[in-house]
Structure 1
């Protein structure tokens, strides 16, 4: 019998945007249209370089993220999809996701994505009130999102995620309820709800420093989170990760790779990888990235090999993000060690604080642990 193909995930970064949202601290840039063609030429070069390195691996998921991948012409995305099929062993049932923003989509673009084999669409909406959308730097109105969503259905997408953010400046509980109701009413297969975090080097970060922005208070933020959990589960979505809800069978396989501390390769400027027990990332600058690839070298910087202890800590920290928690058996199978022998004291302490519970084979966050998840993660850093 032949050895089973090792399965990994692939992340592909498209750093271009029409405009930068006020909360965004991703490696993305507006006003760089002139660099799109050379960037994609480099990206195809990197895919080719990785073709050798990933021989013997089966690709189980591809996630084309950004930036705004839907901002660039569909031909660029098509060339990437084609190159991935040529250089990698893409599994037949691979989940292939593209991130897209209203205001950069058309029926033609969506139909093109479907015809190139992309089978999952992740749409950024954030809120359904036009005044809130404008106040966070979004380039579209709610109605545009609805039209694009319906076009995606017509184009044949039967697996759509919608991204939402709560705790936005001046967003009320009523606004958030309206957003959840409207989005769930459209029946996407997956909904992600993130609490706004204000990062340095963003428009919101600058406004916070200047005293021009008042973040949502913790109590309102938590009420919004609980509202999302209650409403979305009542609409038939399973809560399977701290911020993520899915109809049965539509959990995001790509993100599960991260949460289960499995291997993935990241391609493009600033993309992160975890391969052969090493975490590393590509250079962030678009120019440096293009330059590296043009010289025929992988644009890698900041390599960090993980030792056994770090791997186990990461497995715990990431696994606690999942509502089902960590499997004691799986820990044993993966590391050949008993989770209690290593982390028994921490598990006991967090249990006593009411932040985690042990149910059968699973160690997971309690309801109050979900609210104070960072306290749990800190124990395993």
Structure 2
């Protein structure tokens, strides 16, 4: 049964230098027509793949808060009409600090949004310019204060490390500033330079100067240590929450459960099939009008792939992969499938196998991608 939905708003007023998500400049885009196409896709998706109610809805981008108030209400109305959210459901909107006004917050609150994910990335304002962000620290502080005053009690900040020109002290100051704002959740990711980004083009020209691997590791170590001392639980490699504020939507992915994907370039996983939508907005709208869906690809996940996904997604969680749940889900023990790989990674000090879970060690969190690779291709 589908428990979650991801909805993609691809419009941005500014394009960040590191971003490789599906996005376009807002100006001169057919925003209202795109929202109408999303409305139709929501309707068709729930009709084709019924669910009783969702536990989480996550709106990402692009920049969802780039929508003006009228467009935002149009979109929120569609979600309320087509996607049944449980009474205690988690409903998240991504937000830019300089775009989320009191009027937009009022709309979000009215339509049931109860979690905000604010894209801060750094509290160093020179570094913000370097990465193509246009907000200020004052706007972050204003938004967090205003959101709390309006009753939002589940606020997450996104921070990045390994950025060009960023040193250890800059990152330390960003973490300390985030803690001063007393939010419930912090996500912190290292920079990955992706193709088709400004940073990728600079890297190819030898003009992108990022911290050394050693300094990046020190940033991650500081992140884990400092947040642990501040009552944040590291429940996933890059995510930290005060008790009870873990992102239920993201846990849907890491628990390898099913979810709808709505919008241009969105991905979904329903009925054992992973589906991805076309990314170009005009093509997306045309396909939805013609067929009700805009699939670029539909991939039936084989049993072998399911086994691998259960491992490399589940190992992202601090608690790891449940051996009992694995056996119930697949009818075979985790040892019979991955015993050799688990033993090999444990010997390297990267995994532990205890208390009914296979999980990364602290050392393993620094080398997560290498560990995940050990579980790929075993069932080919």
TM range (shorter): over 0.9
Q: Does the Cα contact within 8 Å between 1:54 and 1:88 map onto a contact in 2? A: no
Residue in structure 1 matched with residue 243 of structure 2 by the alignment: 248
Q: Does the Cα contact within 8 Å between 1:12 and 1:266 map onto a contact in 2? A: yes
Residue in structure 2 matched with residue 127 of structure 1 by the alignment: 122
- What per-residue deviation string (whole Å, max 9, x for no partner) do you get for residues 333-368 of structure 1? 111110001111111111111110112101100111
* Count of matched residue positions in the alignment of Structure 1 and Structure 2: 376
Mapped pair 1:239 → 2:217: no
Q: Does the Cα contact within 8 Å between 2:2 and 2:260 map onto a contact in 1? A: no
* Shift of residue 33, structure 1, vs aligned partner: 4.1
Of 79, 85, 92, 2:80 maps to: 85
* Alignment CA distance shift 1:345-1:61 (3 Å): same
* Shift of residue 40, structure 1, vs aligned partner: 0.7
Runs ≥4 in structure 1, deviation > 4 angstroms? none
Mapped pair 1:230 → 2:225: yes
* Shift of residue 31, structure 1, vs aligned partner: 4.1
Q: Does the Cα contact within 8 Å between 1:16 and 1:66 map onto a contact in 2? A: yes
**Of 202-211 and 84-93, the range deviating more from structure 2:** 84-93
SS of the aligned residue for 1:180 comes to helix
Q: Does the Cα contact within 8 Å between 1:55 and 1:88 map onto a contact in 2? A: no
CA distance in 2: counterparts of 1:267 and 1:229, whole angstroms: 34
Mapped pair 1:66 → 2:37: no
**Of 34-43 and 253-262, the range deviating more from structure 2:** 34-43
Residue in structure 2 matched with residue 280 of structure 1 by the alignment: 275
Residue in structure 1 matched with residue 140 of structure 2 by the alignment: 145
- Where in structure 1 are there 5+ consecutive unaligned residues? 1-5
Mapped pair 1:200 → 2:195: yes
Q: Does the Cα contact within 8 Å between 2:7 and 2:59 map onto a contact in 1? A: yes
- What per-residue deviation string (whole Å, max 9, x for no partner) do you get for residues 131-156 of structure 1? 01011100111111111111111221
Mapped pair 1:259 → 2:254: yes
CA distance in 1: counterparts of 2:102 and 2:145, whole angstroms: 9
**Of 292-301 and 366-375, the range deviating more from structure 2:** 292-301
Mapped pair 1:100 → 2:95: yes
SS of the aligned residue for 1:184 comes to helix
Q: Does the Cα contact within 8 Å between 2:158 and 2:186 map onto a contact in 1? A: yes
- Where in structure 2 are there 5+ consecutive unaligned residues? none
* Shift of residue 200, structure 1, vs aligned partner: 1.3
CA distance in 2: counterparts of 1:273 and 1:115, whole angstroms: 27
SS of the aligned residue for 2:210 comes to coil
Q: What is the CA RMSD across the aligned residues, in angstroms?
A: 1.2
Give the TM-score taking structure 1 as reference length: 0.96
**Of 126-135 and 53-62, the range deviating more from structure 2:** 53-62
Q: Does the Cα contact within 8 Å between 1:84 and 1:90 map onto a contact in 2? A: no
Residue in structure 2 matched with residue 15 of structure 1 by the alignment: 10
SS of the aligned residue for 1:156 comes to coil
Q: Does the Cα contact within 8 Å between 1:63 and 1:254 map onto a contact in 2? A: yes
Give the TM-score taking structure 2 as reference length: 0.97
Q: Does the Cα contact within 8 Å between 2:26 and 2:66 map onto a contact in 1? A: no
- What per-residue deviation string (whole Å, max 9, x for no partner) do you get for residues 251-281 of structure 1? 0000000001000010000000111101110
Residue in structure 2 matched with residue 109 of structure 1 by the alignment: 104
Q: Does the Cα contact within 8 Å between 1:278 and 1:304 map onto a contact in 2? A: yes
Mapped pair 1:313 → 2:308: yes
SS of the aligned residue for 1:295 comes to helix
Q: Does the Cα contact within 8 Å between 2:322 and 2:357 map onto a contact in 1? A: yes
Residue in structure 2 matched with residue 3 of structure 1 by the alignment: none
CA distance in 1: counterparts of 2:263 and 2:132, whole angstroms: 25
CA distance in 2: counterparts of 1:245 and 1:231, whole angstroms: 11
CA distance in 2: counterparts of 1:65 and 1:33, whole angstroms: 21
Residue in structure 1 matched with residue 263 of structure 2 by the alignment: 268
Alignment of 1:293-312 (within 5 A): 293-312=288-307
* Shift of residue 285, structure 1, vs aligned partner: 0.5
Of 325, 344, 347, 1:349 maps to: 344
Q: Does the Cα contact within 8 Å between 1:15 and 1:67 map onto a contact in 2? A: yes
CA distance in 2: counterparts of 1:56 and 1:354, whole angstroms: 42
